[in-house]
Chain A
Amino acid sequence: MTEINLRLKKKLNEVFSIEPNDLGTGFLNQNFKKITAYFKTIPFVYVIPFTFLISLVLYLLLGKLLVRLVTILQYGF
């Protein structure tokens, strides 16, 4: 029983180690919570489709410039 209590205490200390974010208004706080919830668990589920969409849009906007950018990036390591 004592061990369970200790583990629970440790977990609670870990969870409450930081104060919740306060952005000033209730509207901002609510939306901030909603958006950040997507990044807390398996963010790649949203990140990968989003980045593909962005790179496709960039390709349509920049065209050959994007290909040149990739060439520069490939020398960037």
Chain B
Amino acid sequence: MDFKTFLVDFFTAFIIVIKRFFLLIIYPYKTMRRISLEKDYYQLLIIAGLVFLYFKFIYFLRDKTYLATLVFLFFIFNFLLTSSFFYLLNKFFNSNQNKKETSFSSFIFTFSYSLFPTLIWFLSTSLLFIFLPPPRTFSLLGNTFSIFFVAYSLSLLIWKLILEYLAVRFSSKQNFLRIFYMMILYLTWFLPYSVFLYYFHFFRIPFI
């Protein structure tokens, strides 16, 4: 493969990622269904690149933090751990039934795209940290900002939950109740693990 082909493939993937970002806002269900069948690995590279740029950016904002590359590697480890957990759990569920085989790449693609709400929240919060640094006051403006910020954070959290559910749904092809159990099982180890990440100053709020 020559450089020209690489460049064309890379920019095509970049346009697809941007297009899908907007489509995930408008048509999350249809878009996630299509993403679960994706095979273009350049898209993963672009999303990972965006996350890496974010870690580089906050490296200059946070005190006593680890190198951006190290935090990024830790994020990749967490991401692979999460994807593998759902993939293996799905395999275990499928072993009891005669269901269609699912691919690991489908989990990777859908989980990568479900990182968008996380990335937006973290990026906007770090930008607000520069322009409207905490602590918030109990004045009228402080109270109004707090209401808006909580509404904004909750909106992104709900979007994240929708995308996360759809990611597991289309990758694992399990039904709602099974996915609910999977999520509960995931939280049973991920919540203590998040405390561990907080304790060692990797992430205050887990980036997942």
Contact = CB atoms under 8 A, between A and B. Distances in A.
Contacts of A40: 27-30
Contacts, number: 117
The size class of the interface chain A forms with chain B is 35 or more
Contacts of B154: 51, 54-55
B151 A77 contact: no
B46 interface: no
B125 A56 contact: no
Contacts of B205: 73, 76-77
A70 B162 contact: no
Contacts of B8: none
Interface in B147-179: 147-155, 158-159, 162, 169-170, 173, 175-177
Q: Could you tell me the dominant secondary structure of chain B's interface residues?
A: helix
A44 B134 contact: no
Nearest to A40: B29
Contacts of B25: 42, 44
The size class of the interface chain B forms with chain A is 35 or more
Contacts of A14: 33-34, 37
Interface in A19-70: 19, 21-23, 32, 39-44, 47-48, 50-52, 54-56, 58-59, 64, 66-70
Contacts of A56: 147
Contacts of B28: 39-40, 43
Nearest to B124: A77
A70 B136 contact: yes
B122 interface: yes
22 contacts: A19-B173, A19-B175, A23-B175, A32-B176, A40-B27, A40-B28, A43-B28, A43-B158, A44-B25, A44-B155, A50-B158, A51-B154, A52-B151, A54-B151, A55-B147, A59-B150, A69-B146, A70-B134, A70-B136, A75-B204, A77-B125, A77-B204
Interface of B: 25-30, 33-34, 36-37, 58, 61-62, 122, 125-126, 128-129, 133-138, 142-143, 145-155, 158-159, 162, 169-170, 173, 175-177, 204-205
Q: Give 9 closest A-B pairs by Cβ, nearest first.
A: A40-B29, A55-B150, A51-B154, A74-B134, A76-B205, A55-B151, A70-B146, A71-B135, A77-B126
